Structure 1
Amino acid sequence: SWGKLAMLIGDWFLRVPIFSICILSRDFFFKSVLPVGVRFSSHAQNYTTLLLEDEKGILYVGARGAIFSLNSSNVSDGSHRTIDWEASPEKRGDCLKKGKNNKTECYNHVKLLQRLNTTHLYACGTYAFHPLCTYIDTNKFTLPSHFEEGKEKCPYDPARGYTGLIVDGSLYTATRYEFRSLPDIRRNRHQRILKTEESPLHWLNDAEFVASVLVRESVRNPVGDDDKIYYFFTERAGEESTSVFDKAQVPRVARVARVCKNDIGGKKILQRKWTSFMKARLACYVPYYEVLKDVYSLDGGDWRSTVFYATFTLSAQWRSMEVSAICRYNISEVRAAFEGTYMEYQDSSRKWSQYTGEVPVPRPGSCITSRARKNGYNTSQDLPNGVLDFIKLHPLMYEEVKPADGVPLLVKKNAVYTQVAVDRVRALDGRVYDMLFLGTGNGWIHKAVVIGSMVHIIEEIQVFKAPQPVENLVISKKQRSLYVGAQSGILQLPFSSCKRYVSCFDCILARDPYCGWDGETCREVAEILLIQDIVHGNVGCSNDSAQATPMQKNRTVLCGDDVLLPCEQMSNLARATWLVNGTKVLAEDGQGRFRLGVDGLCYAEENGLQALVAAYTLNVLPERVPQQASTVSHPYWHAASATYGDVRFIYIAVITLLGGLCLVLSVVLLYVSCLQKRRGKYSLGVPQAPSVELQTVSSNCLGKVEDEEEDPGTYLDGCLQIIPGEAPTVPSPSKETLPIPPPPPPPLPAEFTNGITTLPSMLRKMNGNSYMLLRQNEEPCTSPLYNSFTEELSKILEKRKHTQLVEKLDESSV
């Protein structure tokens, strides 16, 4: 629902019950824990390689030691098929001899699972640091007896970055293939095998690959261009180092590289090497060096409309900060960077700089086009030596690939986005919106909608109880589902659960393109006559169902106690407005009676929309029961009443507990005194006031410490302050002579604790929620623990304010 609003706080005049409400003006941001979804797990682990064949209704999963075929409509229906593909004992033994980890590395991690043809899949696994590949008949779905060497196709180390595609029968992969080898982009099978150049100016500098994308640029191309495979990775920025051989302190940057599908290498120069390899910086303009985590592409039916969504985190030198960013790139910007100027390494200055010399013809790094074929260059082997030499020494482009609109779509603090998947949906207003599903490093999914040049986060969903990174995300438009791959299993989530929005405000303010309001309930957009407002989120609610029924709560407290009233909110983008007896309460009311907390809230008000979530009725119990109690009515709640019988019962219970406590303490003190007299080793010699009186939390204790250095905790007027915590250590002669500690006093009834004794743990749980602290500081009713409590609370609140709140929050910092 959309946040809990409304709170009633007590009157500071003792004998009158008082009422308050808390109203939230907010943008909707629903938080959900462990949503309803279907899960699949088996004997295997690391369910990270996913292949969805939507039309066939099959989700193939590559895990550690197994391959599964799941029903994509319900992955947990029990109809799955399994292929066990464990590493042999001999290979595991060899792996152990190499010093590898027997708990994580010496297994067969399936890293590649691609459709080869109409009847077979092609799969590759690390196989305990000895990669193997095989063909799987999808009808039989059994492990064949024949295997291929996988060193040229699959990484040896399961922790290495890897990406692989099968395009028209050829396998395009990128990773570090052997223990001592350099990172490489390779093509195997079908066509001629190609690799990247291993020159002193390495084309790849300690690269970690995250994704590869095929773009069919040959389709209806006016210049007769070729299809291209784009590779996304992070590598060391050689252009920012004084030497290509000095890797110390070299920052890592994000890159995009491309090769032409029909490249067959050079004839004499660059034999069996790419002649079309080029790379450029992929900038997201986060004010630190970015590390690329994942990339997802959408084409909208035409390659010219292709966009790439990329997730970034900060590089290693900024690990103390958890910041993620989402940037969007148009294919036109990527092509413009590769058609720009080159960079060149200058031996004299030992650094990279912009190349200003003459560029050979045909343009180095470009694919074979109609114009090249007209000039007699039908394949890459026909290219002149001057063009090939230029390509060999100029793999890096000068221009950066800039994000759309020049800025990130989203910058999110306190989150590490590891995966991104995007669905394009048409809303009821006729516009097309991109829905982002973002996986985090601790097992959450953030669902967001792209509105123009900004991102509105709709909800956060905790998908795994145990924190673990989201390793893969796959979208099924047919099943309207999101498949989440992680170490412990597969989770299938619906695109949206519209029924969780219980009111019109909930449904409209969510701005979820999958959901609309039909006048009574929130439904999927497949229904007719629904209401949405994606752009603003504040139009369409006009009837009584706009707001959910507010929650009503009663609270009874003792005179002199501070009261903490939480206002738990489901929305991180909500702003709380407190009303006490109909009057708005500011952060401090001048008399120190109120302290309002909005710890972790993002102040996002949508055109003044407000709604009441909850209301509190606070009854203050004085020393004598008032004859009459005035009440305040409100259309959303009614006041709770307390009878004289209830008051008498409460006082009798308190007196009984205190009497029992005094009896226990008297017996213990008498026993300790007798014990000390008998042993003659210790005596109670600390000077105290003439009379010591143990007082309750609500009694009159106004004593002050005259000299804390002499004896902290001792009061001149005979009051003993009891402060929770550990006592200072006092050396003792022997363990046998230690007095038996008295038993702890029984806790007060829950009705009189007012949430105070558990305040620190409560504040930890209230991150992102509002609260109000009520101070009753009338002279006759001041508690002896008032000062220590308020000081402790002030310190906690001030610390949290300085560490978590910023002055101007945006939707990306919720």
Structure 2
Amino acid sequence: MDHRTRLTPCLPLPVLVLLGCLPCLLLGFPFGPALQLDATPRTTVLFDGLLGYNRFSGSALDYSTLLLEEEAGLLYAGAREAVYALDTSNISSPRTNHSIKWPATAEQKRQCLSKGRDNQTECYNHIRFLQRLNETHLYACGTHAFKPLCAYLDVEQFRLSRFEDGRDRCPYDPAKGYTGLLVDGDMFSASQYEFRSTSDVRRNFPFPLLKTEEAPTRWLMEADFVGSALLKESVNSSIGDDDKIYFFFTEKNQEQMPYSSQTRVARVARVCRGDIGGQRTLQRRWTSFLKARLLCSIPDYELQLNVLRSVALLEAADARDSVFYGVFGLEWKNVKASAVCQYSLADIQKAFDGPFMENQDSKWREFTGKVPQPRPGSCITNQHRALLINSSRDLPDNVLTFVRRHPLMATPVLPLRGRPLVFKRSINYSKISVLPVAAVDGVVYNMLFICTDEGWLHRAVELGDHVHIIEELQLFSEPQQIYSMVISQAQRSIYLSSQSGVVQVPLATCERYASCFDCVFARDPFCGWDGRMCADVSLHTNRSSLIQDIEAGKKGCPSYTGDGSAVHRSRTVMAGDDVLLQCELHSNLATPLWTLNGRDLQGYGLGSGYRVGTDGLLIIGARPKQSGSYDCFSQENGLRVPVRRYTVRIQAPVLPSPGPSDLTEPPEEFLPRPLHPSSSPSEQPQASPPAPLPPGPESLAYRHMEALYVSLVAVLGGLCLVLTVILLYVSFCTRGGAASPTRKYSQQGGLVAAATERKRSSHLELKTVSSHCNGRTDGRTSRRGTGAAEDGSLLQIVPGEGGQLGSPGSDRAPPPAPPLPMPPPLPSTDFANGLSATLPSVLRKMNGNNYVLLRQVETETTSPLYHSFTEELNRILEKRKHTQLSDVETDESSV
């Protein structure tokens, strides 16, 4: 059956081309090199590979808040109906850990249930606020089964001493966004309180209590708060300025934006610490509340990340030089993408000093009228005091009325360099912390610790205008969100809380890097090579002897003069076998390079006899001329490091003598060439593979389909998510009809075409092979393969059968195609591990050092395809029985 007939039930080709090209046209193609899209972590550390970590898991769940006190060596953790005090040196130690039970009363839980709340998650006392109040007490607030309650916690006796109503200080819902801080006994908080539909920014105590205005212009629209920070701008201020408190949140979009599909927008708001409200206008309301929009976008491609998820402050010696880091995401729930944008306090102040917005006819427009003096929304400064305005209660009514109606600024706050610092596809960042670290050369680098919504931690270093992700750590065996994160420089640890407990992770694990090049390639400011091992920089008093290169990641290590560091192996196999030479790279940014007898292997197409992947080199149908010394190098940062060396000997097959039972002669094409009686074994001509059969209708159909896909890839111009889904859908449909085994398997990997030329068999039987074949015994083969059976069952390809590969028949209904994502996908770009954008069939699986092979159209000009051949080789291996020479001693089998 012609393949065009089998495509008919799916989607017409013009529709496929239009759907595939539309996202690329909307977003632009390609992305410029200025922004590294989809930054790749250099190494991936799974849960079982974590080093030096400690865990605490008490009887409670949902560890939502953390409070670190370095001097006391204590980490306070607020959980569901409990508060814990943990030893910072080892949170797992039970000797100094204390706990307080603080459950909601049975009556309050009953009332919570009567309101229709969930007894499994909501009708408990979730601790949302926990901070130091004074030298003797902490102040804590909890949801208390939808009736917030606050308490004073005696640190010395570690008990709750006094309770207060928390309805104005803590959210009633544990899922509502919330932020709060204590400043010299003053409590500032922001959330949606009680059952109100309007969020507030409040000063809770001492008197006077302040809040945001509701009418006539609502200052906040369904705001979801993620963080707050105090900046002491009064210190050494030339204008006698006041300290300010900044709040970060996402709220409902009120403006006329070019991105009409966006319903949410990220904001930063500020209030003056000395604000006490107005005398007649704005009584018990903020007189200094202003808010501005935070932009985090890729300017040239109209890609706007408008949901703020977390914020971190990098405070400078002078508060005016401080920098904020924000984690942004998309508001679409079915698409994952994250970015980290960086903002200077100077740019935020410039926005608050700029023009105002005005609400006219329910639409926000820039205010063009005269602004009263002194400037509305500003803190009390020397200029105000010269006008006998010593507090906010002395401000004129016209100034306060203007503030009441114009809380929004017209100028948005742009990120530094006008674009994100890092962008990540297929992942949702949820928390961020920043720590300055001094490298060996004395240069201070900002280390970023970024958490994902599935419990992974990314350790990254800021390098000028971009970020290098050193590693990604799987902190939990099961995916779970991280609620809070604090860093202890004294303990050189980072503490993270989640639903199940608290985990303590070292700031760096330098011992993980086994060689000088591995240590330098990591570009970790915490680590340096001391000549014997990768050591912690802080533990060395003489740092001049340490080797470290943060900027380039390639200088300092001695050059290799030989292959002494490479692992040596030997292989002896029969001619015609497929040989896999393993060379798995531990770095996601490294690419493999193979040499034969000191010369680089050129070309990896079907005709070359070689295929290269992330786990090794596959020799297809080995021939005696392919014997020799194979070296595998890891290429990273412009350097090549030897990893493996193989000595491969390929022996010609030994022919059995014919017996009396041989009644028929095999076809001439399968007979080996006779040895010349006068020639020595070394002078015998090598057996050549049989000549290929003339192309039949099925071969022509396969070539036509190959040309169709190549032309389709040329039209699209790059890889994007929608195109990948469409190709998967078309791939499934093309396998739905009857096809020969050669065509069906060539669509999966492309290896059978060469195998068919060597062995003409009308029946091809494939079996799965244990992962021990390639030396991998940790159970990760199935995760990195392209679809091998995991239960060891027999897989067959029978000529003329339809259905999926390995299915017993063609009567099984195919699964429905996945739905197309609503938002436009992100344009394709070069992969950081060496994959070219011309390979539209390769996608990187996040949080893992692996790739998934979808489809490849091979030509003589295509680039090497780096993927795992382990499972692909296993499918065709069992058909060929190895005939091992009895007089040859080898240390390994061919596969």
Give the TM interval when normalised to the shorter protein. Answer: 0.7 to 0.9
CA contact 1:327–1:407 (8 Å) conserved in 2: yes
Indicate the residue corresponding to 1:114 in structure 2.
131
Structure 1 position 198 matched with structure 2 position 214 = yes
- CA drift at 1:516: 1.0
CA contact 2:439–2:445 (8 Å) conserved in 1: yes
Aligned pairs for 1:620-699 (under 5 A) are: 620=650, 623-624=653-654
Structure 1 position 328 matched with structure 2 position 358 = no
Any idea what the Cα deviations from partners look like across 1:743-802, whole Å, max 9, x if unmatched?
xx9x87888x6799x9x98474269xxxxxxxxxxxxxxx999999xx979xxxxx9xxx
Which of the numbers 113, 125, 131 marks the counterpart of 1:96? 113
Indicate the residue corresponding to 1:339 in structure 2.
353
Q: 1:275 to 1:807 in 2, by over 3 A?
A: closer
Which of the numbers 641, 646, 652 marks the counterpart of 1:611? 641
CA distance in 2, matches of 1:547, 1:488: 47
Indicate the residue corresponding to 2:282 in structure 1.
270
CA distance in 1, matches of 2:739, 2:548: 67
What is the one-letter code of the residue matched to 1:613?
V
SS at 2:62 equivalent: strand
Q: 1:223 to 1:89 in 2, by over 3 A?
A: same
CA contact 2:305–2:339 (8 Å) conserved in 1: no
What is the one-letter code of the residue matched to 1:502?
A
| 151-160 or 568-577, larger mean C-alpha shift | 568-577
Q: Which has the higher contact order (CA 8 A, sep 6+)?
A: 1
Structure 1 position 30 matched with structure 2 position 52 = no
- CA drift at 1:266: 1.1
Structure 1 position 232 matched with structure 2 position 248 = yes
Aligned pairs for 1:471-620 (under 5 A) are: 471-526=483-538, 527=540, 528=542, 529-542=545-558, 549-554=565-570, 559-589=575-605, 591-597=607-613, 608-618=638-648, 620=650
User: What TM-score, normalized to structure 1?
Assistant: 0.74
CA distance in 2, matches of 1:260, 1:209: 18
Any idea what the Cα deviations from partners look like across 1:53-88, whole Å, max 9, x if unmatched?
112111110011110111111111112010011111
Indicate the residue corresponding to 2:6 in structure 1.
none
What is the one-letter code of the residue matched to 1:411?
F
Give identity over the alignment, percent: 45
CA contact 2:740–2:800 (8 Å) conserved in 1: no
Which of the numbers 280, 294, 315 marks the counterpart of 2:331? 315
CA contact 1:121–1:136 (8 Å) conserved in 2: yes
- CA drift at 1:358: 0.5
Any idea what the Cα deviations from partners look like across 1:247-301, whole Å, max 9, x if unmatched?
9965211110000111111111111111100000111124124211111101132
CA distance in 2, matches of 1:98, 1:483: 36
Indicate the residue corresponding to 1:765 in structure 2.
784
- CA drift at 1:370: 1.1
SS at 1:47 equivalent: coil
What is the one-letter code of the residue matched to 1:339?
D
CA contact 1:561–1:786 (8 Å) conserved in 2: no
CA distance in 2, matches of 1:186, 1:545: 68
Gaps of 5+ in 2: 1-38, 616-632, 657-688, 699-736, 743-755, 787-795, 807-817, 819-824, 835-843, 847-895
Indicate the residue corresponding to 1:385 in structure 2.
397
Q: 1:306 to 1:749 in 2, by over 3 A?
A: closer
Q: 1:718 to 1:208 in 2, by over 3 A?
A: closer
- CA drift at 1:518: 1.3
Indicate the residue corresponding to 1:213 in structure 2.
229
- CA drift at 1:605: 6.7
Indicate the residue corresponding to 1:368 in structure 2.
380
CA distance in 2, matches of 1:376, 1:171: 29
CA distance in 2, matches of 1:566, 1:407: 41
Q: 1:324 to 1:784 in 2, by over 3 A?
A: closer
What is the one-letter code of the residue matched to 1:808?
D
SS at 1:267 equivalent: coil
Which of the numbers 435, 446, 462 marks the counterpart of 1:434? 446
SS at 2:172 equivalent: coil
CA distance in 2, matches of 1:594, 1:786: 27
CA contact 1:264–1:381 (8 Å) conserved in 2: yes
What is the one-letter code of the residue matched to 2:763?
Q
Indicate the residue corresponding to 2:830 in structure 1.
808
CA contact 2:584–2:614 (8 Å) conserved in 1: no
- CA drift at 1:589: 4.3
- CA drift at 1:314: 1.3
CA contact 2:585–2:614 (8 Å) conserved in 1: no
What is the one-letter code of the residue matched to 2:640?
Q
CA contact 2:372–2:398 (8 Å) conserved in 1: yes
CA distance in 2, matches of 1:189, 1:475: 29
Aligned pairs for 1:241-280 (under 5 A) are: 251-280=263-292
CA distance in 1, matches of 2:528, 2:90: 25
What is the one-letter code of the residue matched to 2:419?
V
CA distance in 1, matches of 2:266, 2:568: 53
SS at 1:239 equivalent: coil
What is the one-letter code of the residue matched to 1:110?
I
**Number of aligned residues:** 655
Aligned pairs for 1:132-151 (under 5 A) are: 132-144=149-161, 146-151=162-167
What is the one-letter code of the residue matched to 1:153?
R
CA distance in 1, matches of 2:339, 2:442: 29
Indicate the residue corresponding to 1:169 in structure 2.
185
- CA drift at 1:104: 1.0
What is the one-letter code of the residue matched to 1:721?
H
- CA drift at 1:92: 1.2
SS at 1:283 equivalent: coil
CA distance in 1, matches of 2:386, 2:234: 17
CA distance in 1, matches of 2:588, 2:203: 47
- CA drift at 1:579: 2.2
- CA drift at 1:99: 1.2
CA contact 1:124–1:134 (8 Å) conserved in 2: yes
CA contact 2:40–2:832 (8 Å) conserved in 1: no
SS at 2:378 equivalent: coil
CA distance in 1, matches of 2:692, 2:826: 36
Indicate the residue corresponding to 2:239 in structure 1.
223
- CA drift at 1:323: 1.4
| 248-257 or 703-712, larger mean C-alpha shift | 703-712
Q: 1:459 to 1:705 in 2, by over 3 A?
A: same
SS at 1:496 equivalent: coil
Report the aligned-residue RMSD.
Answer: 3.9
CA contact 2:741–2:799 (8 Å) conserved in 1: no
Any idea what the Cα deviations from partners look like across 1:125-166, whole Å, max 9, x if unmatched?
00111110000000000133x321111000010000000101
CA contact 1:536–1:606 (8 Å) conserved in 2: no
CA distance in 2, matches of 1:710, 1:512: 55
Q: 1:555 to 1:490 in 2, by over 3 A?
A: farther
CA contact 1:241–1:351 (8 Å) conserved in 2: no
Q: 1:713 to 1:152 in 2, by over 3 A?
A: closer
CA contact 1:28–1:509 (8 Å) conserved in 2: no
CA distance in 2, matches of 1:482, 1:277: 34
Gaps of 5+ in 1: 1-25, 627-698, 725-744, 768-782, 794-798
What is the one-letter code of the residue matched to 1:367?
C
Indicate the residue corresponding to 2:460 in structure 1.
448
CA distance in 2, matches of 1:545, 1:311: 45
Q: 1:248 to 1:267 in 2, by over 3 A?
A: farther
What is the one-letter code of the residue matched to 2:359?
Y
CA distance in 2, matches of 1:127, 1:548: 65
What is the one-letter code of the residue matched to 1:455?
V
CA distance in 2, matches of 1:711, 1:606: 43
CA contact 1:504–1:545 (8 Å) conserved in 2: no
| 112-121 or 248-257, larger mean C-alpha shift | 248-257
CA distance in 1, matches of 2:827, 2:579: 24
Q: 1:618 to 1:467 in 2, by over 3 A?
A: farther
CA contact 2:771–2:781 (8 Å) conserved in 1: no
CA contact 2:740–2:799 (8 Å) conserved in 1: no
Q: 1:80 to 1:750 in 2, by over 3 A?
A: closer
| 702-711 or 411-420, larger mean C-alpha shift | 702-711
CA distance in 2, matches of 1:380, 1:152: 23
